[in-house]
Chain A
Amino acid sequence: MASEKNTIMGWVDRRLPVTENLERHLTKHPVPKKVNFFYLFGALLMVVFMIQVVTGIWLMMFYTNTEEGAFASVEYIMRDVEYGWLMRYMHSTGASAFFFLMYFHMFRGLLYGSYQKPKELVWLFGCFLLFLLMAEGFLGYVLPWGQMSYWAANVILSLFGAIPFIGPDLQVWIQGDFVLSGITLSRFFALHVVVVPLLMIALVVFHIFALHEVGAGNPEGVDIEKYRDKKGMPLDGAPFHPYKTFGALPAIGIFFIVFFAIVFFAPTGGGYFIEKPNFEEANFLKTPEHIAPVWYYAPFYSILRAVTFGIPFLGITSKFLGFIIFAASIAILFVVPWLDRSNVQSIRYKGMYSKIAMILFAASFITLGYLGTKPVNELRTIIAQICTVFYFAPFILMPIYTKYEKTLEVPDRL
């Protein structure tokens, strides 16, 4: 036992069980010996999270959270602060990377049934993290107080105003003013730099502890706990260190290469990471010609726009219905563990319908994302409406097709 050792670490361990917990949760934690690249995104998400925290703290040292000062302080960071541009572009590119990795991380979950019993809580904490990340990204985008910051925030805040009865008051309460103003900006700053990140850190801890309690999955959906060696270690497992740590290093290396290539050569991502109008200061009398969200919100924005009709006899306006369906497109992810009735986990052993559903879902998500960045016209609206149906159908019909489709036999061992 490490705590018996007559070393500094031993001294610490007798007072705070550092080594024991490190071994249990990190170095000696058994993980499936065979997984694929989809299983690297969790580690990369942690890396990006750290980039965001560190660059964010540095940006905070130069940023001014007032209506008069915000835009100018961002220009100051970009022009006068040494390496300020690097901090800012790392932070904005980091936001895009965060979503990119998050979407793949979640898609892995959908493909390999990683949300299934007993990993429901892992998935739920993950869904909360997605929600918080979306909030965090939105709050952060308001801070530079550019044209797009202002008008995008205006649209999103008006969504709250669309809630019947309490909506208008709720919107004023969130804004702290009758219109979106500097008052809103300062509170968004507090939420963006303190409240949401703290919640996210707590949730990441829960996410990982819950995962370690029930054990990580694998692309085959094989339960590795079934066969163990004499010490009780799974035969198809391997200790996290050095097997997974060294496996993740090349991935982190490749990630950094791509990440910094974007930071140095295409930090605005052609207007998809930071939009052109956001290099102009907010003007509350003039909406930019074409309002488009950054790419990572585009699919959800498309869903919002696709709802051009209400339910008049229930008193539901198109605006409120849009809000409901927009919210449902995220909310439905939370219940996926209870929609899947399949007796196998992985898509590799599921039937035809599951495969078709996954393809439909992915295709409609990407199409919605594309449409969300384009101006509306009649044809695009119709396509977006069809895609919205295909976004929801794989989930809504899941209890039926996963129960009745024919699945393949899952092997015993990895």
Chain B
Amino acid sequence: MSKNKQGKKHIHILDGMSLYKRDKSPFYWGYLNVGGEIYKKSLKTRDKREAEKFLFEWKSKLLLDKSLNKLNGNLEMDVLKNPVVNNTRRKALMITSSLMGAVTVAGFAVPFLSAWNPSERAKALGASVKFDLSKLEPGAMAVVEWRRTPIFVVHQTPKALENLPKLNNRVTDPVLSEGVARSTNEKFTVLKGVCTHLSCAPKYHPEIEPKAWDEQWLGGFFCPCHGSKFDLAGRVYKGVPAPTNLEVPPHTFEGDTLIIGELT
């Protein structure tokens, strides 16, 4: 047993290696002198054998670290011996390489993002369709498919045409310029069956009777999704989620035939 400066009892292991106890700690502490540098720490064990083992491990780790540091130190020295650092150039390199990196990323993003656009095949599905109006009874509605969208074709009754102007102040946008039935044809109204709120297909309710959604219903369309109301000319009622009237798709009448879509 020997004593160090603080008067603590040391257990000698090898030169520059010893174990000791500290007053408040239940553990063995290790003391190392590696090349003149002193290290101390708790070995976190009450077992002497284990403490010895940990001490040896610790020493070899320190030695390894030291030799690695030496290596690194020499490498660093090489650079430091020739301190030819051109900060402006370094900065310029940083900026150009980041810019080039950004351009590369953006360049690669283009094909991946563009792949999500409608393909040529999807674009080609836009041809016009024909519909025979002669079989559509007054008051009835037909659903015609155009570009995978339901198109509503309504044969207006005289009663409906009479009622429509009464609703002018209950709708958001009466579009008086478009005519009573919002159509170039007196009898047939053609509408996109796509609710202008969130694209559900509104239901056709031509009956004039009180409804759950409207006490004074004069016939029209009711959207089941969020309760938007439109009159028989597709004009949207005030105070419903849909902001605008049902759209009128491009269409032309040729005698009894209705052509929906652009004429080609």
User: What residues of chain A have their CB less than 8 Å away from a CB belonging to chain B?
Assistant: 151, 154-159, 161-162, 172-179, 181, 183, 187, 230, 284-291, 304-305, 307-310, 317-319, 322, 375-377, 381
- Structural contact, A177 and B227, CB atoms closer than 8 A: no
Say if the beta carbon of B79 comes within 8 Å of chain A. no
Please give, as numbers and ranges, the residues of chain A lying within 8 Å of B199 by CB-CB distance: 154-155, 157-158, 161
With A154-B200, A159-B198, A286-B201: A376-B150 Cβ-Cβ less than 8 Å: no
Known contacts A155-B199, A284-B148, A319-B198; A176 and B227 CB within 8 A of each other = no
The docked-state distance in angstroms from the alpha carbon of A174 to that of B116 is 7
Known: A183-B122, A308-B241. 17 other contacts (CB 8 A): A155-B198, A155-B225, A158-B197, A159-B198, A162-B198, A172-B117, A176-B122, A230-B26, A284-B149, A287-B200, A287-B202, A291-B225, A305-B241, A308-B240, A375-B212, A376-B227, A381-B227
Q: In the bound complex, how far is the Cα of B42 from the Cα of A230, in angstroms?
A: 13
B242 closest partner in A (C-beta): A319
* Across the A-B interface, the 6 shortest Cβ-Cβ residue pairs: A376-B227, A317-B243, A158-B199, A158-B198, A287-B201, A155-B198
Q: Which residues does chain A contribute within 8 Å of B197, judged by CB atoms?
A: 158, 319
On whether the beta carbons of A154 and B122 are closer than 8 Å, the reply is no
CA distance A177 to B226 in the complex (A): 25
A287→B119 CA distance, assembly (Å):
26
Q: Nearest chain B CB to A333's CB is how many angstroms away?
A: 24
Contact A284 B150, CB 8 Å, known A172-B118, A173-B116, A319-B198: yes
A-B contact count (CB 8 A): 103
A169 vs chain B, min Cβ distance (A)? 9
Could you mark each residue 91-132 of chain B with 1 if its beta carbon is under 8 Å from any beta carbon of chain A, else 0? 000000000000000000000000011110010011000000
CA distance A141 to B44 in the complex (A): 57
**Pair B240/A285 contact, Cβ less than 8 Å:** no
Whole-angstrom CA separation of A289 from B243 in the bound complex: 22
**Does A179 lie within 8 Å of B147, measured CB to CB?**
yes
Supposing A154-B199, A179-B147, A285-B150 touch, asked if A376 and B226 sit within 8 A by C-beta, the answer is: yes
Q: Cβ of B122 and Cβ of A151 under 8 Å apart? A: no
Given contacts A158-B198, A159-B198, contact A375 B224 (CB under 8 A): yes
Residues of B within 8 A of A187 (CB): 116
B147 and chain A: residue at smallest CB distance: A178
Return chain A residues, CB-CB under 8 Å to B126: 178
Q: From A380, which residue of chain B is reached at the shortest CB distance?
A: B227
Q: Using known A-B contacts A286-B201, A287-B225, determine if residue A318 contacts B241 with beta carbons closer than 8 Å.
A: yes
Task: Produce 1/0 per residue, B12-34, CB < 8 A to A.
Answer: 00000000000000100000000
Most buried by B among A161, A319, A322: A319
The complex places the Cα of A322 from the Cα of B239 at a distance, in Å, of: 13
A310 to B242 CA separation, bound complex (whole angstroms): 10
B143 contacts partner chain A, Cβ-Cβ < 8 Å: yes
Given contacts A178-B118, A288-B224, A319-B243, contact A154 B198 (CB under 8 A): yes
CB–CB A289/B201 < 8 A? no
Give Cα distance in the complex from A304 to B199, angstroms: 14
Beta-carbon contact of B243 and A176 below 8 Å? no
Number of interface residues of B (CB under 8 A): 36
Bound: A288/B224 CA distance, A: 8
* Complex A-B: 17 CB contacts under 8 Å: A155-B199, A158-B198, A159-B198, A162-B198, A176-B116, A178-B125, A181-B122, A181-B148, A284-B149, A285-B143, A285-B150, A288-B224, A289-B224, A305-B241, A318-B241, A318-B242, A319-B198
Chain B positions 136 through 157: 1 when the CB is less than 8 Å from some CB of chain A, otherwise 0: 0000000101011110000000
Q: Which residues from chain B contact A376 at a C-beta distance below 8 Å?
A: 213, 226-227
- Indicate if the CB atoms of B225 and A177 lie closer than 8 Å: no
Cross-chain contact B224 with A290 (CB below 8 angstroms)? yes
Complex contact A177–B118 (CB within 8 A): yes
Chain A CB within 8 A of B203 CB: yes
Chain B contacts of A175 at CB under 8 A? 118
Instruction: Tell me how far the C-beta of B228 lies from the nearest C-beta in chain A, rounded to whole angstroms.
Output: 9
- Alpha-carbon distance A156/B200, docked complex (angstroms): 10
Contacts of A305 in B (CB 8 A): 226-227, 241
Q: Which residues of B from 185 to 201 have beta carbons under 8 Å from A? A: 193, 196-201
A289's nearest neighbour on chain B, judged by CB, is B224
- Tell me the minimal C-beta distance from A359 to chain B in angstroms: 29
Contact yes or no, B213 A377, CB < 8 A: yes
Q: Name the B residues within 8 Å of A177 (CB-CB).
A: 118, 122
Nearest-CB distance from B127 to chain A (Å)?
13
For the complex, what is the distance from the CA of A354 to the CA of B186, rounded to whole Å? 63
* Contact A307–B241 (Cβ < 8 Å): yes
CB distance from A397 to the nearest CB of B (A): 28
**Residues of chain B contacted by A377 (CB below 8 angstroms):** 212-213, 227
Residues of A contacting B149 with CB < 8 Å?
Answer: 179, 284
Which of A151, A161, A291, A322 is in CB contact (< 8 Å) with B241? A322
Contact residue among A154, A172, A310 (Cβ-Cβ distance under 8 Å from B243):
A310
Residue of A nearest to B44 (CB): A231
A317 contacts which chain B residues (CB < 8 A)? 243-244
A322 to B117, CA, bound (A): 27
User: With A and B bound together, what is the CA distance between A381 and B213 in angstroms?
Assistant: 11
Chain A residues, CB < 8 A from B125 = 178
How far does the alpha carbon of A287 sit from the alpha carbon of B125 in the complex, in Å? 22
Decide if A176 touches B118 in the complex (CB within 8 Å): yes
Q: Are the C-beta atoms of A151 and B243 separated by less than 8 Å?
A: no
The CA-CA distance from A317 to B117 in the complex, in Å, is 27
- Evaluate whether A291 and B200 lie within 8 angstroms (CB atoms) in the complex, with A173-B116, A181-B122, A318-B241 already known: yes
**Given that A173-B117, A285-B150 are known contacts, is A178 also in contact with B145, CB under 8 Å in the complex?**
no
Interface string of B204-224 (1 = CB under 8 A from A): 000000001100000000011
Q: A286 — nearest CB in chain B belongs to which residue? A: B201
Q: A305-B241, A319-B242 are in contact. Are A287 and B143 (CB under 8 A)?
A: no
Residues of A within 8 A of B225 (CB): 151, 155, 287, 291
By a CB distance below 8 angstroms, the chain B residues around A307 are 241
A286–B145 CA distance with the chains assembled, in angstroms: 11
Rounded to whole angstroms, the CA-CA distance of A318 and B197 in the bound complex is 9
| Most B C-beta atoms less than 10 A away, residue of A158, A178, A287, A288 | A287
